[in-house]
Amino acid sequence: MAESVEQTQVSLSDQHLGLAQNCDETDLDTVDVRPDIVVSEVDVGQPCLACGEKCPGFAHHDWRNVCVNCKCVRELHDLYNDNLVDVRDRLGWPRDDGQGGVARDPSLTEGYTWVPGNLSSQKIHEYMEQLPNHKVPRVDTPGERYRDIQLIRQLPKQDLSDLYCRFLEDETERKEFTIFRELRDQVAMGIGTARQTAENTSCYSCKGVLERGDLVVAADKLGREWAWHPACFTCATCEELLVDLVYCQHGRQLYCQRHYAELIRPRCPSCDEVSGAAWSGCNCCSFFESMAAYVKVC
């Protein structure tokens, strides 16, 4: 099975290198622009967690991902989501239940801001008991804030929709971004499923024993035969829990969307947007390239 997965796995790096040439041949009318992506982040005026009272509150820089007031990066401020987020809404994916709007059940009914699907109330609590206590998304606890921050960090809005990209200058660049996103969603990205293992096996990550009937997480796009302890279902780069079980697979490893995107495309350290073959990047990308060239010459 592992061999067949490797044979069918698409090399996104190679595909993306040719997107600039192929974008004009793609029928973008068949590609969902996804205007229904739900992003309800609150950042303006939020205090800086590093500077404290020295910062009067976050204010957007014209082109950098920093606060005008304190120069700290946006993510160092007390960001939060204004509404309870269903991760499928943030991704622009259809709901399993076919409902629209913001989901509030069964998560809040169980006392959490997120729960894995298709588990009974008892199994939900068993699942949560396996996570680090400060990362359990229980309502009105540090775990609720942890999930909120991970949604913003692991699933940056500028990676999910061109509507949040400030430096796509023409239609060609937007077409390439659209294809990049569609390839990622179709080939690499998935949402893990929590279930009871049907046989004795081992955790893909820690290699620890998983006995029949244990609660595990499965990632179908990596292989149906593999399973993870709930606490081991993490990004290979940042080692954080994959928020709401959203993962991207690459090279037989799991990544959060942010770090997966950085394996495929360079991310500007200033504006925090990825760039591509057809879209050269932002003003700050050019600035950093100029500085790198200057340093190399000197």
pLDDT of 210 over the 90 cut: yes
User: What is residue 290's predicted lDDT score, i.e. its pLDDT?
Assistant: 53
pLDDT of 141 over the 90 cut: yes
Residues above pLDDT 70, as percent of the chain: 77
φ, ψ dihedrals at 84, nearest 5°: -65, 125
Residue 226 lies in a domain: yes
DSSP 186: I
Domain-ending residue, one of 27, 53, 78: 78
Domain containing residue 238: CATH number: 2.10.110.10
Residue 84 lies in a domain: no
Q: What is the mean pLDDT of residues 45-63?
A: 94
Residue 35 lies in a domain: no
User: What is residue 36's predicted lDDT score, i.e. its pLDDT?
Assistant: 60
pLDDT class for 281, splitting at 50, 70, 90? low
User: What is residue 138's predicted lDDT score, i.e. its pLDDT?
Assistant: 96
For 89-134, write each residue's pLDDT tens digit.
999 998 875 444 344 456 788 899 999 988 999 999 999 999 999 9
Residue 92 lies in a domain: no
User: What is residue 249's predicted lDDT score, i.e. its pLDDT?
Assistant: 97
User: What is residue 284's predicted lDDT score, i.e. its pLDDT?
Assistant: 60
Contact 64, 73 (CB under 8 A): no
Which position has the token pair 């239609």? 171
Q: How many domains does the chain have?
A: 2
pLDDT of 291 over the 80 cut: no
**Does pTM top 0.75 for this prediction?**
yes
Distance of alpha carbon 133 from its chain centroid, rounded? 22
User: What is residue 132's predicted lDDT score, i.e. its pLDDT?
Assistant: 97
pLDDT of 288 over the 60 cut: no
User: What is residue 107's predicted lDDT score, i.e. its pLDDT?
Assistant: 79
Residue 36 lies in a domain: no
Residue 74 lies in a domain: yes
- Which domain range does residue 65 map to? 44-78
Residue 56 lies in a domain: yes
CB burial of residue 231 (10 Å; 0-12, 13-18, 19+): middle
Mean pLDDT of the chain: 82
pLDDT class for 276, splitting at 50, 70, 90? low
φ, ψ dihedrals at 37, nearest 5°: -60, 130
pLDDT of 241 over the 90 cut: yes
Give 14's contacts (C-beta < 8 A, 6+ positions apart): none
